[in-house]
Amino acid sequence: MKVLTIIGARPQFIKAAVVSRAFKEHRPDVREIIVHTGQHYDANMSEVFFSELEIPKPDYNLGVGGGTHGQNTGRMIEKLEDLMMEIRPQWVLVYGDTDSTLAGALAAAKLHIPVAHVEAGLRSFNRRMPEEINRVLTDHIAEILFVPSASGRKNLISEGFSEAKIKMVGDVMYDASLFYKDKARKPKLPAELDISGNGFILCTIHRAENTDDPHRLTNIFQGLAASGKSIILPLHPRTLRKIVEHGIDTPQNVWVIDPVGYLEMVWLEANCRLIATDSGGVQKEAYFFGKPCVIMRDQTEWVELVEAGWNRLVGADPDLIASSINKSFEPEVCKPIYGTGQSAQLVVNLLCQ
C-alpha cells in the first residue's frame, strides 16, 4: 500500500515524523511518500533539522510558497494533482489546517483518492481565520477523521458527520512531546538574564490578527510590560517586521531572542513557569508540559484546555494579559485529554485496516 503524506509547515514535519516512525515500526509493508509543498520555507530546515529530530526527508519538494492564500493553494493543487496521477497512492494523509492541507485534500478528492485528516474536528468558530476554512473543508472531504479530543468529535457529530468516519486517536503532538523531551537542549540566552528563582515566562507572538494590527500588538506588549515578569520572547520574523513597521518598542522586561529550533523550544516550554502565546500548537504543548497558558487570542480551537482551567483566553487586553500572568492558575485535575502517547500507532493501525 502507498500512502502520500502532504506537509507544508515545520510543525507538520514534527507531527508527520511521529506517524512515519509508526509506519516503519508497525507496518513495513506500507510505502510512505512524503511531499513538502514548500508553503513555509525555513532556512533552518537543513540536514541538521532532519537528522536531529529523526525526521525523514521529503521525497518531493514542490517549492510553492510566498504568495497569497489563493495563489499558493491553486499552485499546490496543480502540482499535487500531477504527482498523485503519477504515484497513484491508496491514501492521501494530511495534517492540521494549513493551505497545504486543503490543497492536498482537494487534489485527492478530484482524483477519487481517499483522504485521511489528522487533527480533524477542531473549530475556533471564527471564519475570518484562514485556518478555520481549511480545517472545515478538509473535514468534509476526508474519508477518515482522526480526532485528537472529545471536543473535536462533538463538533463533527453536531455538523452531521457519520460516526463511522470519526476515529478518536488522541494527539500525535503529545507523542512528539514525549519522544523529544529527553532530547531537548537549552538555547543560547543573554548572559545577564537570570532564569533562576520563580522561573521565567515564555512568550510567542506570530498570528496575523495580532501582528498586522498595530493597536493589538501595542496592547500585547503593554500587558507583557505591566506583568513585571522576566519574559523570554523568541521573535518570529513576521513579528519583528511588524514591530519595526509600527514603531513599537519592546519592554525592558521582555528579553527578545532569535527564533529557536524545536528542541530548544521544548526546553523553554519544559523549564518556564507559564506560557503566553497566540500559537495553536504551543497552547497544547504548554499542557503537555504541565504549564498554565495565557492565550492572546479571542478564540481558540483547543476549547477543552480552557474548560479544564489550563488555558486562559485574554485577547489583546493589556490588563487581562498582566493579571493572568501574575495570578496563579488552578487547573482542573482530570484524565488525559489527548490520549496516552500512542496516537501515531492508532492512526497507522486504522489506516491500514
Give the start-to-end residue ranges of the domains of the chain: 2-171+339-351, 201-326
pLDDT digits (tens, 9 = 90+) for 193-233: 878 766 899 999 999 899 999 999 999 999 999 999 999 99
Query: Residue 197: left (phi > 0), alpha (psi -120 to 50), or beta?
Result: left
- Compute the distance between CA of residue 36 and CA of residue 63 in angstroms, rounded to an integer: 8
pLDDT digits (tens, 9 = 90+) for 296-349: 999 999 999 999 999 999 999 999 999 999 987 777 666 789 999 999 999 999
Check for a shared fold between 2-171+339-351 and 201-326.
Answer: yes
Q: From the options 3.40.50.2000, 3.40.50.720, 3.90.330.10, 3.10.20.740, give the CATH code of 201-326.
A: 3.40.50.2000
Residue 334, phi then psi, degrees to nearest 5: -145, 170
At 52, is the pLDDT very low, low, confident or very high (cuts 50, 70, 90)?
confident
Enumerate the active-site residues.
Answer: 206
Superfamily holding 2-171+339-351:
Glycogen Phosphorylase B; (3.40.50.2000)
The pTM assigned to this predicted structure is 0.91
Handedness of CA 20, 23, 26, 29 (dihedral sign): negative
302 or 45, greater pLDDT:
302
Q: Is the pLDDT of residue 45 over 60?
A: no
Calculate the alpha carbon distances from 106 to 7, 65, 79, 148 in Å.
14, 18, 12, 22
